Structure 1
Amino acid sequence: MIFKSYIDFWKHTFDFSGRSTRSDFWVPFLIHIFIFLFVFYFSAVIQIPLARYVVLLTMVPSFTTAARRLHDTNRTMLFAILFPISAIAAPYGLIAGFIGIFAWHGTDGDTTVGIVLVISILCLVFGTIIFIYCLILFVLPGDKEPNKYGSGGSCLLFNSNE
């Protein structure tokens, strides 16, 4: 099942339609974490930035798999778009907010720095909320019956047990 999920990940690179099971999403996700860690470590040793190419190579199939996983739970792929944005916005909001606190204190309450501080805190809060919500959606079981996105994914697993 692990190999099938990983092969399907690459076979359906440009397939936005249909549905994917939890294993179709999580198996490649976890395999890529190990690959990224190995490539990141190896590229640090040889001092060549190879990790960015691995990210670029897996970006489109990861997005389409996330969209199909959300379709399995009868949700739109909007959350597949918001997930990576929130994964970037939350840490940058934390860093900018942390720096902004010290900058605002050093400028005696300058409004420009205060506005940047508020925006960074909003990025942190909303980015974290959206990120956690998307992770919950990826963990939720899929619909056991056909939905508006088709009859694949968890629906096929349910029908095979009857």
Structure 2
Amino acid sequence: MSPLDWAFLPLQRYFDFAGRSPRSEYWWFYLLVSILSMACGWIDLAVDPTAVVGVASLLVSLATIIPLLAVSVRRLHDRNRSGWNLLKPPAPGIVMAILAAFGPFGLFVGTIIFVGTCLWLVVLLCLPGTSGPNHYGEHPYGLQYYAT
């Protein structure tokens, strides 16, 4: 498959939270969404420089949030992890807000926890998937891969 095929595949699997997605599908789609978001930001800035959120950016965000969540869940499934792991980075944000009440040290500790969980999630999304079938289905390429 070409990079464009990988980038548009999550749009074809819009509400599909089951199964597995390889790294190429996730990262090419992430790149597509990032480019679309930047382009819409520039368009919104050209149309109305005083707007906080532009119409084009809002429409792209609303159109891509579900497929981005779905491909993220499928990517975690490829690592044999539950999609609920996507909720781990926001949870420390709540802890950070509570710890901020205890002053700057609490805010610092909460920030470290938040950044750590975000990095953990990025590492999970970057690692290769499990070889062969796992709890969430067959290998997305349909082949037996053995990670070295």
Q: TM-score, normalised by structure 1?
A: 0.73
Amino acid at match of 1:137: L
Alignment coverage as a number of residue pairs = 137
**How far apart, CA to CA, are the structure 1 residues paired with 2:42 and 2:78?**
35
Q: In the alignment, is residue 66 of structure 1 matched against residue 53 of structure 2?
A: no
Range with bigger deviation, 117-126 or 22-31 = 117-126
Q: In the alignment, is residue 57 of structure 1 matched against residue 57 of structure 2?
A: no
Change (3 A) 1:9 1:120: same
Q: Quick one: percent identity of the two aligned structures?
A: 23
Structure 2, unaligned stretches of length 5 or more?
none
Q: Which has the higher helix share?
A: 1
Residue in structure 2 matched with residue 29 of structure 1 by the alignment = 30
**How far apart, CA to CA, are the structure 1 residues paired with 2:25 and 2:103?**
40
Pairwise CA distance, 1:20: 0.2
Q: TM-score, normalised by structure 2?
A: 0.80
Structure 1, unaligned stretches of length 5 or more?
97-111
**How far apart, CA to CA, are the structure 1 residues paired with 2:100 and 2:120?**
30
**How far apart, CA to CA, are the structure 1 residues paired with 2:140 and 2:59?**
30
Pairwise CA distance, 1:3: 2.2
Higher alpha-carbon Rg: 1
Residue in structure 1 matched with residue 121 of structure 2 by the alignment = 134
- Residue 71 of structure 1 aligns to a residue whose secondary structure is helix
Runs of 4+ more than 6 Å apart: none
Residue in structure 1 matched with residue 140 of structure 2 by the alignment = 153
The structure 1 residue matched to 2:82, chosen from 76, 81, 100, is 76
Pairwise CA distance, 1:132: 0.5
Change (3 A) 1:124 1:52: farther
Q: Residues 132 and 139 of structure 2 are in contact (CA less than 8 Å); yes or no, is this contact kept in structure 1?
A: no
Pairwise CA distance, 1:114: 5.4
Pairwise CA distance, 1:123: 3.1
**How far apart, CA to CA, are the structure 2 residues paired with 1:114 and 1:81?**
23
